[in-house]
Structure 1
Amino acid sequence: MKVLNFGSLNYDYVYQVEHMVRAGETLASLGMERFFGGKGLNQSIALAKAGVPVYHAGQIGEDGEAFLDLCRKNHVDTSYIRMLPGKSGHTIIQVDKTAQNCILLYGGTNREMTEEFIDTVLTDFDRGDILLLQNEINLLDVIIDRAYEKGMTIILNPSPFDNALSVCDMSKISIFLMNEVEGEQMTGEREPEKILSCMKKTYPEAQVVLTLGSDGSVYQYKEERYAQEIIKVKAVDTTAAGDTFTGYFVAGLLEGKSIPDTLLRCAKASAIAVSRKGAAPSIPYKEEVEI
């Protein structure tokens, strides 16, 4: 069984601010740092650090050679990353004094996927292989359809939530991994219980993992339901918390761990990630989590 993550690779420009910039306001930042990120890259690195061999498929611009070096350093297979003319994707991230963040995303080469490239990548994967997706690349609907035809197990983190997801056949998703905001966007419901009930009714065959910030996480599959509290730490940067959780959750499934044990390890890994700066660099190794 192989794991393919078809996802984004971004440079993250992180600005420390007193508060999030308001409409019409000019605000001096308290500092700026550049990190490697992108939900796709972050989740591939989280998988690799959790001990899972992972292939990353994606596109970088002429400024993106450093992504290849980073992936290789973190044992992420780069066979399906191609370089195109133009700029790689990037984000502008504001982080306030309470460690909350808001993110402005520029797609760059992440948004230049072609059906030909998708088919070329998926040729090397078969029934039972795992495909992990987020929504920072284009043609997500095509990738889902092609992977489903091949019998792959599709895991989706529907983030960022936008109109591109409306053309995706969500009935083909095996596992949804989302936070409470994405849960509301998926269902129109705000309360976690109502989100989960709606997901169960709409996608009865899918597993759902709902992360709830300081309220922890909940897993649901048919009549099964498990909850996990957070591990409290001093938060520095929450940017990669969800991506860390995703990587360690998929790792737990592959290792055959019970859902409660998997959720606990996800909570520990995410706690370590939020206590550090940056996205990809903040994700802990398996050995750090299992001390």
Structure 2
Amino acid sequence: MRVINLGSLNLDYSYRVPRFVRPGETMEADSFSLKAGGKGLNQSIAAAKAGLEVYQAGCVGPDSALLFEELEQNGVDTSLIQTGADATGHAIIQVTASGENSILIYGGANRTLTLEYINSVLAHFAPGDVLLLQNEINLVPEIILEADRRGLRIAFNAAPLTSDVKTYPLDKLSWLMVNEVEGEALTGETDHLAIIKQLRLSYPQTMPVLTVGAAGALAADSENIYTLSAYPLQPVDTTAAGDTFNGYFLSAVLADYPLPKALELGTAASALCVLNQGAAVSVPRREQVLAFMQENPPATLTAEVIPFPIRG
């Protein structure tokens, strides 16, 4: 079983700031760094570090050597990436002293995928393989439909959430991964349990997964909603926390972990991630995550099981 991530590949221009800059304000940053990023790249690295066989696809520009280097150093196959003339996608990231982030994205080459390229990529994979998607590229609905036609299982992280996501064929997904802002926009609910329940009701064939920052994560199967609280740590940089969770959570469910254990692995990995600055570089190795879990046993977490009488 292989994972193909048809996702975004960005150069991250990251600035440490005392606080987020206000409209009309010019403010000096405390420090600057240039690193590989993009939700696609981050999640590929997280999934590979978690032990999955991962292939990255997507489009980049001629200024993309750093991205290839970062992916290959972390065990991700890059042979399906297409290089063109458009500028590589990039992000401008502000990170405050408390670890909160504000991100401005320019799609660039990420938005130049064609149906011909998509079909050529998916042709390398077989029924039962997994497609991992985010919403930083173009033609997402077409990719979902083609992957479903080919028998691939699909994990979609609906980030960043755009107004047209509700029109995507989300009923074709195996997993739908959102944070609380995205979940609220998709369902109109603000309560975490109400969000996850509404997603399950709307897409009964799909497992919804909801990350809620310092409050932890939730997921629902055909019978129960599981809630797991987060580790009480002081974050340094939350930029890749969600991407790290998604990669590790996916590795766990594909290894047939019970759903609460999959939530635990994803939560522990994201906890370690936020202790370091940067995006892809902050994703921990699997052995680090397992050691962290051993040193911080599940007794420090709480799991809530709620009856949920839906058969997907």
Q: TM-score range by the shorter chain?
A: over 0.9
Q: CA shift at 1:142, angstroms?
A: 0.9
Residue 68 (structure 1) aligns with: 68
Matching residue of 1:3? 3
Q: Is the 8 A contact 2:196 2:219 kept in 1?
A: no
Offset at residue 37 of structure 1 (A): 0.5
Partner of 2:87 in structure 1?
87
Moved more, 211-220 or 65-74: 65-74
- Offset of residue 244 of structure 1: 0.3
Are the equivalent residues in 1 in contact too, given 2:158–2:177 (CA < 8 A)? yes
| Secondary structure of the structure 1 residue equivalent to 2:193 | helix
CA distance in 2, matches of 1:167, 1:138: 14
Report the Cα distance in structure 1 between the residues aligned to 2:151 and 2:86, rounded to whole angstroms.
34
Partner of residue 251, structure 1: 251
Q: 1: distance between equivalents of 2:65 and 2:27?
A: 33
Question: Structure 2 matches for 1:232-243, cutoff 5 A?
Answer: 232-243=232-243
Deviations 1:217-275 (A, max 9, x none): 11112322211111122211000000000000111012221111111111111111000
Counterpart of 1:265 in structure 2 is 265
Give CA-to-partner distance per residue, 1:20-64, whole Å, 9 cap, x none.
112222222111111110000000000111111101111110000
Aligned residues: 291
Q: Which residue of 2 aligns with 1:52?
A: 52
Secondary structure of the residue aligned to 1:128 is coil
Distance 1:33 1:240 in 2: 15
**1:150 is aligned to 2:166:** no
Q: Residue 164 of structure 1: CA displacement?
A: 4.3
Could you list the runs of 5+ residues in structure 1 that have no partner in the other structure?
Answer: none
Q: In angstroms, what is the RMSD of aligned CA positions?
A: 1.1
Unaligned runs of 5+ in 2: 292-312
The runs of 4+ residues in structure 1 deviating greater than 3 Å are none
- Displacement after TM superposition at 1:165 (Å): 2.1
Instruction: Report the 3-state secondary structure (helix = DSSP H, G, I; strand = E; otherwise coil) of the residue aligned with 2:47.
Output: helix
State the AA in 2 paired with 1:211: T
Supply the distance in 1 between the matched residues of 2:49 and 2:217 (Cα, whole angstroms).
21
Secondary structure of the corresponding residue to residue 104 of structure 1: strand
Residue 203 of structure 2 corresponds to 203
For 1:121, the equivalent position in structure 2 comes to 121
Give the counterpart letter for 2:119 in structure 1.
Answer: D
**Alpha-carbon separation, structure 2, partners of 1:155 and 1:36:** 22
190-199 vs 3-12, which deviates more?
A: 190-199
Distance in 1 (CA, whole Å) between partners of 2:200 and 2:266 is: 23
Residue 78 (structure 1) aligns with: 78
Deviation for aligned residue 1:167: 3.8
Residues of 1 paired with 2:198 and 2:234: CA distance? 34
Distance 2:203 2:158 in 1: 14
2:218: which partner in 1? 218
Partner SS state of residue 163, structure 1: coil
